[in-house]
Structure 1
């Protein structure tokens, strides 16, 4: 209930104050475990990613945000769960794997932090780990900003990456992460080329 209300509020905000263009929603599987892997340019990214999709999305959020009881309750109600940054948080890892095992959707930001330039940064290994240790379909996501009043922000959900062959080949976590980042980068460049052609 709170998640649905949150979606409605966010949709109202984005519709009124930011011109959002959504592409590729048809690439989101209607059921089964899905791992969304997105670039990260703003604190607005998590609500934007989940606002225009029918399926509920779970997120990892830095543990410090949950120290405030009210904010922690709100984040939990909206599908987020805490993760300790800069360390291998086994509890968060188990939680994330459990989300995917239940056939739900989990969103990660492979870079682990926001990019100030809009370009992709060096990724952490988390996305590759979850891709290999679960049966999830991986969907690359690209957000192109900046977030400014009445300016257009584009969010693109790319074609699903089916990881079965990589799991059978037993690729390393780094290789899996690189595959995901390559798809995000390709999606970003392809959209940029389309944008330049229109100018």
Structure 2
């Protein structure tokens, strides 16, 4: 058993009953091949929630500072996270993300880049569109619907894969691709509130 599998089962046993987590549409995540999971970001626990509700191991970018914290940095790394320098173009992190997708794994992203203070969906950054266009991965939108309060239901909704072929063929910009992804996340939030 890998550390990731062990950690996932422990966290699953704590978080699912505590937050009464309901998962909808997990079958929309393909069983194999590269998948870009794009979700809204309302809480620090969002990566954990996406990690336990999806059916496959998920890799996440995490801010570089986390990896410098003793013990925590090591745990986060063993849970498939890799560092990204925020506020600048981090080529190494972009390359790592592309390789994860090309190797047929799941990359989890929060296109807003930071948590929403209001709970409302913010503007997406071009990174999500960049990964979607640079690889032939499947793009799956996700909505996390709070609140994160003990024993109050937390809902995680995975939407149907977003068709990106037309944008790839027309060589659309990363910004345009991100807008499409954000529109799909917004739709999930509205439909399942």
Q: TM-score, normalised by structure 1?
A: 0.94
Q: For 1:184 and 1:148, how far apart are their aligned partners in 2?
A: 22
Q: Which residue of 2 aligns with 1:167?
A: 168
Q: For 2:134 and 2:31, how far apart are their aligned partners in 1?
A: 21
Aligned to 1:86: 87
The aligned residue for residue 137 of structure 2 is 136
Paired position in structure 2 for 1:25: 26
Give the Cα separation in 2 of the matches to 1:78 and 1:36: 16
Partner Cα separation in structure 1 for residue 124 and residue 54 of structure 2: 25
1:16-70 residue CA offsets vs partner (Å, 9 max, x unmatched): 3111111001101000000000000001100100113331100000000001242
Counterpart position of 1:72: 73
Structure 2 unaligned spans of 5+: none
Matches within 5 A, 1:144-155: 144-155=145-156
Query: Which 10-residue stretch deviates more, 114-123 or 22-31?
Result: 114-123
Contact 2:58 2:108 in 1 (8 A): yes
In structure 1, the partner of 2:181 is 180
Q: State the shift of 1:73 in Å.
A: 1.3
Q: Residue 178 of structure 2: SS of its match in structure 1?
A: helix
Partner of 1:11: 12
Q: Can you list the C-alpha shifts for 1:59-89, whole angstroms capped at 9, x where unaligned?
A: 0000000012421211111000000000000
Match of 1:42 in 2: 43
Aligned-partner Cα distance in 2 for 1:55–1:148:
26
Structure 2 CA distance, aligned partners of 1:16 and 1:27? 23
Q: TM-score by structure 2 length?
A: 0.97
Verify the 8 A CA contact 1:10 1:48 in the aligned structure 2: no
User: 1:195 maps to which residue?
Assistant: none
* Secondary structure, counterpart of 2:155 in structure 1: strand
SS class of match (2:71)? helix
- Whether the 8 Å contact between 2:29 and 2:55 is mirrored in structure 1 is no
Q: Distance in 2 between matches of 1:146 and 1:11?
A: 18
Q: Provide Cα deviations, 1:150-192, integer angstroms capped at 9, x if missing partner.
A: 1110000000113122100111111101000011111111112
Moved over 2 A (4+): none
Partner of 1:196: none
CA RMSD of aligned residues (A): 0.9
